[in-house]
Chains A and B, each alone.
Chain A
């Protein structure tokens, strides 16, 4: 049994090393040089090892504009986290703790927001700003950046907040009240420790998304508020300063790792375990509360609809200049776009589907395996997944390209979309591990133990007990990885083999050269693919959850 366990651990960690650790090392080595370095290229490393230096870091710290970019990125990350939490909290409460009507609809509408590429949302606002001229703020400012990025983060925060509040067992609150505990103490000693892990998970993910975002700052960040990812991108792709760009992103990575450490310490201090039977949620059915929250949630949830409408108008427009709606329409934008990128739909579906499946498989193995003692080092695994999540997608693309572009492993970059799929998986593994982990954490230990006793072995336990209970988290994790992979641009441009251009890559190619209608057409297709999937999965999720309870 120990040999079998050891073998499983070796396989598992080798997999993580090959696809997380080695690319990271290559990326970090590049920051000490001027060109991308592959750790497999031993002769090249031997030749250039004497030229490694800290010059890129010295250049960064001696330049006040570069330093400002790091400071501004942190400010943006914290501000986006705070604003999106404030916006999403009432919605999360309404969805998980009240008898609000239309929960599935609201949840589905919000999930649509996750599937809308950041550059499309940005272009929606640019269109509003340029053609409508009715925005009450300047889109190209810190305020504009904050508003757009917060709106893209609200769906994540709502999702994690809902999961967190949904894990609150009413029995604990009632028994505390019965024992004369004050409401304030109930909140600080019972409610907060139970919901904090879920909210903290949402906050750290939103923070990492905000600081690692590229497409939105590239389009909106004003010159007096530089963002480090956009600055690194232009250093790399405008001036080919690989070393300086990598150094900038290594520094951002260190900041993000520090944030992750704070999160992990906070979780360890505040985590609570609840055991016993009969988990119960008490739903707030106060009419005034329900009505207010329903209206508020509907307003928040309708924002993705507005984005899609604007996107749709652009996708079907032939001419749209300075008017509220296009002055003429056409259906040929779709055909014209697909004439140039005929395989893009299949490329998107195949690669993102596989990425989602692989991500949840790894998440389930790691979370269940560490929970039951099959896999060692839960916190190491969590940390590794969050570290890669802390990298911006462009650096995942560069790391993989630098590491695997050689005569031995080049096939997984240039011929088969393996590096592309694995890049999607490991850039988004944090989503699925968090989702699956939250769901598994809500399963009481007594169920685990009962399953192990009654069923034959851990696999039966996994199949008949754990899977049904963890299904909501698995579906959430798959969903997030699928839709976020489908809108990826930064790593796709680097890792997609020939003929494997995705809808997102093709869309951005059109938009960046001013062919907005064609780009909008392909982005519209992305939404049409992700929307029914998210809606269907949420219906299934709701049914499974009710059956299990």
Chain B
């Protein structure tokens, strides 16, 4: 039997462990002197890191305040906010649909703040499109309109559907790439909720809901499987030819066409959703003044201009140019449906149940 020189080996192992532990503490103390210093703001961002970092760098260059970003989906980020109440680290939640903010607000994670540059903007556009929380718990920094993204190599211009209803018609069988509303809570859920609200407004709650279910059945019959988890994956699927059409916000196909070379063009549809993209100040934010500075900068002329440069998305304050390919509020508002974000948040489970019922059959 070999007797190892374990005394010295054990000593080496112990020394290594001590060094590693010291390194952990040392790194945390010296490389990151505190979790964040006074000149920083922690932003939980529901955005792709590459683009978002460019935007945050523009803020830092302008103000000297460093952004410490945490990237993730809205669900992950809000989940972390809710579970970490009592030891908050986040200052601002950035990006995501109002329906997610409406639900998140019920968890008490936001605090009211009125950004000066949009203080005169009412909670509703045209009296029916929810634009911001009435109590200033969340507010927009850009917006988008819901339309369709079309692969021009698979769908000719003359064959592009001109209404949501046409998506359920037989000529589009095998062409629709549909998002799963359970996971795609901005686009997928938004689309199905829009259709449900349209039917219920036109035919009454009971008949409208029945007709909505028939519509879902028809659209899913025309859809390719798998159903995509989010609109980014749906764009990739349409871009690579898995299907010819998907539902998405009108600025996204242009983004994918530019960055990835996909043959995609957006089409705006009647009865669209005018959807604000929101942000909010976190309740108990550890860097209040920097958080407010960030929010104010995003809604300043400089910040709104950078939204167009970095994200190709339109501004919400006057005097800032709208990027090519985007639509102004005045263009969208006349064809926008009086989409109820709160109803969407309250009925998300019912809508996904209808989807699951037909998707699993």
Contacts and interface: CB of A to CB of B under 8 A. Distances in A.
Contacts of A416: 24-25, 28
A219 B357 CA distance: 19
A461 B75 CA distance: 52
A463 B13 CA distance: 13
B104 interface: yes
Contacts of B349: 239
Contacts of A225: 360
Contact of B79 (A138, A220, A406, A494): A494
A240 B82 contact: yes
B20 A498 contact: no
A131 B76 CA distance: 30
Nearest to B28: A416
Contacts of A401: 80, 83-84
B53 interface: yes
B87 interface: yes
Contacts of A130: 236-237, 240, 242
Given A65-B353, A140-B226, A401-B84, A513 B68 contact: no
Contact of B27 (A319, A350, A514): A350
B84 A414 contact: yes
A225 B227 CA distance: 13
Given A223-B356, A322-B240, A350-B24, A463 B6 contact: yes
A350 B359 contact: no
A240 B83 contact: no
A237 B75 contact: yes
B6 A464 contact: yes
Interface stretch (B42-50, B111-119, B195-203, B308-316): B42-50
Contacts of B134: none
B83 A499 contact: no
Contact of B71 (A65, A139, A509): A509
Interface string B2-45: 11101100100000010011011101100110011000001000
Given A350-B24, A464-B6, A36 B87 contact: no
Interface string A139-171: 110000000000000000000000000000000
Contacts of B35: 414-415, 497-499
Interface in A313-340: 319, 321-322, 336, 339-340
A394 B233 CA distance: 23
Contacts of B242: 130
A464 B4 contact: yes
B72 interface: yes
Given A65-B360, A350-B20, A494-B83, A237 B76 contact: yes
What is the size category of the interface that chain B forms with chain A? 35 or more
A248 to B, nearest CB: 14
A422 interface: no
B42 A498 contact: yes
A357 interface: yes
B359 A223 contact: yes
A498 B69 CA distance: 8
Contacts of B82: 35-36, 240, 242
Contacts of A346: 27
B277 interface: no
B128 interface: no
A413 interface: yes
A518 B50 contact: yes
B349 to A, nearest CB: 6
B56 to A, nearest CB: 10
Contacts of B335: none
B24 A548 contact: no
B62 to A, nearest CB: 19
A240 B107 contact: yes
B353 A513 contact: no
B225 interface: yes
B278 to A, nearest CB: 16
Contact of B226 (A222, A240, A402): A222
A513 B47 contact: yes
Nearest to B7: A463
Contacts of B107: 35, 240
A515 B68 contact: no
A357 B357 CA distance: 48
A239 B226 contact: no
A417 interface: yes
Contact of B87 (A65, A340, A413, A499): A413
A464 B3 contact: yes
A6 interface: no
A493 B72 contact: yes
Nearest to B76: A493
A510 B52 CA distance: 11
Nearest to A236: B79
A499 B68 contact: yes
A240 B183 contact: no
B329 interface: no
Contacts of B348: 238-239
Most chain A C-beta atoms within 10 Å of own C-beta, residue among B21, B83, B85, B262: B83
Contacts of B262: 321
A467 interface: yes
Nearest to A509: B71
Nearest to A546: B2
Contacts of A510: 48-50
26 contacts: A35-B82, A65-B353, A224-B359, A225-B360, A236-B79, A239-B103, A321-B240, A321-B260, A340-B49, A341-B49, A346-B27, A354-B24, A357-B20, A398-B83, A405-B86, A405-B87, A406-B86, A410-B87, A414-B87, A416-B25, A416-B28, A468-B2, A494-B79, A497-B35, A506-B49, A509-B71
Given A237-B73, A321-B240, A468-B6, 6 more contacts: A220-B226, A222-B225, A222-B226, A236-B75, A410-B86, A414-B84
Interface of A: 35-36, 65, 68, 130-131, 138-140, 218-220, 222-226, 234, 236-240, 242, 319, 321-322, 336, 339-341, 343, 346, 350, 353-354, 357, 398, 401-402, 405-407, 410, 413-417, 463-464, 467-468, 493-494, 497-499, 501, 506, 509-510, 512-515, 518, 547-548
Give the 7 A-B residue pairs with the shortest CB-CB distance, closest first.
A237-B75, A410-B87, A140-B226, A513-B48, A224-B360, A223-B359, A514-B232
